[in-house]
Amino acid sequence: MARKRIALRDHSAETALFSSRIVVSFIFVLCVLGLLLSNLYYLQVDSYQAYKTRSNENRVKLVPLPPNRGLIYDRNGILLAENKPVYSLDMVPNKITDIDATIVSLTTLLNLTEDNIEDFRTRLKRQRRFKLVSILTNLSESQVALFSVQQHKYPGISVNARLKRYYPFGDALTHALGYVARINSNDLKRLELNGSRAIYAATHDIGKQGIERYYEKMLHGEPGFKEVEVNNRGKIVRTLKITPPVPGNDLYLNIDIRLQLKAQKELAGRRGAIVLLAPKTGEILAMISSPSYDPNLFVHGISSKNYNRLLQSKDRPLINRATQGRYPPASTVKPQLAILGLEDGAITPSTIINDRGWFQIPNTKRRFRDWKRWGHGKINVYTAIEQSSDTFFYNLAYNVGIDKMHSFMTEFGFGKYTGIDVKEETNAIMPSRDWKRARYNEPWYQGDTISVGIGQGYWSSTPIQLAKATAIVASRGLRPVPQLIRDIKYTNGDVYEPVVELPPLKLKEPANWQVAKDGMHGVVTKSNGTARRAFANASYSAAGKSGTAQLYQLGEEKYDASKIRERLRDNAMFVAYAPFEEPEISATIILENAGGGSSQAAPSARRLFDVYFDNKKEN
């Protein structure tokens, strides 16, 4: 039987192996420990300040505080736009066990509408659970009282007060002031592009139209900040520091609210526009577009039903007719056309033509009719303006041509933006050969020129353009920029600098201004003047020009408004200024589909001038 071989252990080899493992382990531990110590040094020494700042940012938050919006006054210091305290019903969602049941209960108590509930649920999705969410943004006094009595039943719900824009004169100033409303996605995109998003961190509303939008930066102010300490859930524990916001700047407008209200009364809800302007300075004393709407509806969030009613209205109340309405200027531009003829040499102050009631382009059959079918007889430039002879200006347009008409009339601002301080403005159309080719791909015909010669055809203008053109004649060439703003009371002490006016319009023969002015004076003073009845026995001297813009082309038949659809009837137009020698105020009045300018619009100008001069005496 073979013996089993027994292997002897090599203790020296095992000891050497164990020792080497101990050394390797020790080195590994040292490396790990060194790594930990180096990382600890990096965190505690090298990056101490950075991590301290980040820690504080997690612990300390900056809560933006909204600034109070600047106020708006008229030229006499009467408040036109203020910040009025309103009450909102707010909820802290994480304090409510059953939100749906709570909303049902509040609906019974406060008569919440479906729109209110829908808006609340939209806001609820965007807010964190421990932050206030508005259920109702404009509580009435009775709703505040009802909830206050029952508040103990609604933990986590409270009534809070905040300032909201309020327009005490309602729809009288809508198209001049505009309005503020909640910031939407389009506003946010615009603010991002302008780099102004941070300024609106605590602001819910922004100017949407008119003065409120144009001077938004002036009115908004600078936000403040509240430094607060929060817990790990983001809930505020305590307030550390407050930097108060800087309120917006107050604005003073050129508008006189007394004239504004009188102009609104003159329109009486009819479609049209009125602009009252100081000819030498461009100060807009009144600007009204009718029909209008109450801007306060938009401040608290207009309902879909009310907005659709405005949007779908045939009267288009959302359009600012004073700056966006396009109307044929008709005979109101005959004084400017007369100046063109005098400057060009096509006529002189002594030029006489025989007005037989029509004009005919040589070698054609079509006759362009005068408003007075039997004509005005022998007339010169003065009587042509006074009696508004179409035939005289047909002949003038034929001799001058469209190229010179376009060039000269753009100097009066037609076809251009006036520079008025609202963004809602159109430049309308001062037609030319190039314009017609680009628009219709057709050549310009002589018949087109004849129609433009009485402010018809392709020519369109806005009331503010007509007001500016009339002011240029009244002031003998001064071209101030029409402005609603009068002064800005800067919170930092800066001084408002008015807009620089355009260079004066200079004529080759300055006496030609007087020819046009004398013709306009005859409109309201001469026995054959078209507006003599409207300005009879006025206590001041005045000048004006009536216009009746045709919207429906007639053939040889006589115009009969009763046989024409109401919206196709003539527009009544009138421009005027007073006093005649040293003009202080000009008026531009457009009444849509109202008929003759001298019978319908001129009396309104007279009443507005009476109010202006009566107020001046009182002051």
Q: How far is CA 458 from CA 330, 361, 469, 556, in A?
A: 11, 19, 18, 21
DSSP state string for 440-500: HS----HHHHHHHTTT-TT-BB-HHHHHHHHHHHHTTS-BPPPBSEEEEE-TT-----PPP
3-state secondary structure of 105: helix
Q: Which amino acid is at 564?
A: I
Active-site residue, selected from the candidate residues 88, 289, 331, 546: 331
- Cα separation, 115 vs 546, in Å, equals 49
- Cα separation, 71 vs 204, in Å, equals 17
Tokens of 423: 């963004």
Residue 383 Cα to chain centre, angstroms: 41
The closest alpha carbon to 431, from 407, 406, 399, belongs to: 406
Q: Which amino acid is at 202?
A: A
DSSP 502: B
Q: Is 331 a catalytic residue?
A: yes
Residue 194 Cα to chain centre, angstroms: 19
* Phi, psi dihedral angles at 525 (to 5 degrees): -120, -35
The end-to-end CA distance of the chain, in Å, is: 145
CB 572 within 8 A of CB 357: no
The closest alpha carbon to 177, from 78, 281, 266, 278, belongs to: 78
Q: How far is CA 200 from CA 60, 137, 303, 363, in A?
A: 21, 19, 24, 68
Q: Which helix (H) or strand (E) holds 136?
A: strand 133-139
CB 574 within 8 A of CB 597: yes
| Number of continuous H segments (helices) and E segments (strands) in the chain | 22, 20
Give the distance between the most distant pair of CA atoms in the chain.
Answer: 162
Could you list the active site residues?
331
